[in-house]
Amino acid sequence: MNRRSFLISSAAAVGAVPLRVLAAAQGARPPVKRDRLRLSITWGMFRDRALPEAFALMAKNDFDAFEMFNWRSPELLDAVAAEMKKHKLECACLIANKGVKAPGCSLTNPKERDAFLGEIGLSIKAAKKVSSKRLVVLTGDDVPGMSRAAMMDSCVAGLKEAAPLLERGGITAVVEVLNTHVDHAGYFLHFVRDGAEMIDRVGSPSVKLLFDIYHVQIMEGNLIRLIRDNIQRIAHFHIGDNPGRNQPGTGEINYRNVYRAILDTGYDGFAALEYRPTVLLEEDMPAQRRLSILV
């Protein structure tokens, strides 16, 4: 066995191999390292601000995108689509199946499969109107009387059925891992390892993970290792500090090091602010942009 073959076979055996090593072994160019994250912001952080004011804040602070507004309001969807044309901002993602509990359209309950697929179809149409390439998918809560294995099977089956719709639409579903200790008791997908199993079993490039740094810190910690080991499964990040779910710098997470680890993988997607700032948004947004630039 030559050196190149040895590196590739070893990489497959180990699983979690630095992307630069694997790329070199395969003769591919390593990912280009960025010196700043592409920042998005969840719409809820704007609270009751008017659309022009929200977009002006994003543009002023050199943000790249926004996400998760209520696309189910036709008026808001049309207004956002019109306002986007005035700014060089992207819609990073929309929520596909209604929210954390995914009422009536969860992945965990096979009886709700048709409703889940219907929500995927509707959200793909909405995403097209704002040129969004990602949909946040929530598994929903545990189903009484079902084992975790059966619920995992249901999630995998639902995502496999959704995958062709997503692939045809050029959309990636990002399935979110949430904490059950503080915020979302009963939610099914609360460990990264289970998310990794789900993504691997679905086996579609259009189904990935949403790695919420706040939620993962509560459930597991070990953020940098989990990011490095799963970066090829991750297509979106959410940001918030712990405890309190406030802005980075208020809690225990060393966001400078976490950002550096993300950028070192060659990740080129978005990372979105999703928390309750303890200062005015006009103060917080420029501070978060400065924190995300690594020089």
Residues 12 and 69 in one domain: no
Please give the pLDDT value at position 73.
97
pLDDT score for 207 = 98
pLDDT reported for residue 30: 53
- Check whether 217 has a pLDDT greater than 80: yes
Q: What does each C-alpha distance from 96 to 12, 45, 58, 92, 265 come to in angstroms? A: 33, 19, 24, 13, 28
Are 1 and 87 part of one and the same domain? no
236 DSSP β-pair partners:
210
CATH number of the structural domain spanning residue 182:
3.20.20.150
H/E stretch holding 90 reads: strand 90-95
| Statement to judge: residues 131 and 16 lie in one domain | no
41 within 8 A of 66, measured Cβ to Cβ: yes
Same domain assignment for residues 65 and 147: yes
Same domain, yes or no: 24 and 100: no
Domain that holds residue 22: 1-30
**Based on the domain organization, do 12 and 51 belong to the same domain?**
no
Same structural domain, 71 and 19: no
The chain-wide mean pLDDT, for the chain, equals 91
Task: Specify the amino acid at residue 70.
Answer: N
Residues 120 and 255 in one domain: yes
- pLDDT digit string, tens, across residues 116-171: 999 999 999 999 999 999 999 999 999 999 999 999 999 999 999 999 999 999 99
Q: Give residue 8's pLDDT.
A: 37
The better pLDDT of the pair 172, 33 is held by 172
Helices and strands (DSSP H and E) totals, the chain: 11, 8
Same domain flag for 208 and 218: yes
Burial of 227 (0-12, 13-18, 19+ CB in 10 A): buried
pLDDT of residue 13: 39
Share of the chain above pLDDT 70, in %: 88
- The structural domain count of the chain equals 2
Which amino acid is it at 202? V
pLDDT at 227: 98
What's the whole-number mean pLDDT along residues 213-240? 98
Q: Residue 32: is its pLDDT beyond 50?
A: yes
Q: What is the pLDDT of residue 33?
A: 66
The mean pLDDT of 44-64, rounded to a whole number, is 96
* Whether residue 105 sits in one domain with residue 5: no
pLDDT of residue 4: 40
Between residues 184 and 29, which one has the greater pLDDT? 184
The model's confidence at residue 34, banded by pLDDT at 50, 70 and 90, is: confident
In a shared domain, residues 22 and 157 = no
What is the value of pTM for the model shown? Answer: 0.89
Position 230, amino acid: N
Amino acid 198: pLDDT: 98
**Contact status, residue 179 vs residue 190, Cβ threshold 8 Å:** yes
Average pLDDT of the segment spanning 84-112: 96
Least confident stretch, 38-42, 87-91, 284-288 = 87-91
Residues 144 and 260 in one domain: yes
pLDDT of amino acid 50: 96
Question: Which pLDDT band holds residue 278 (cuts at 50, 70, 90)?
Answer: very high
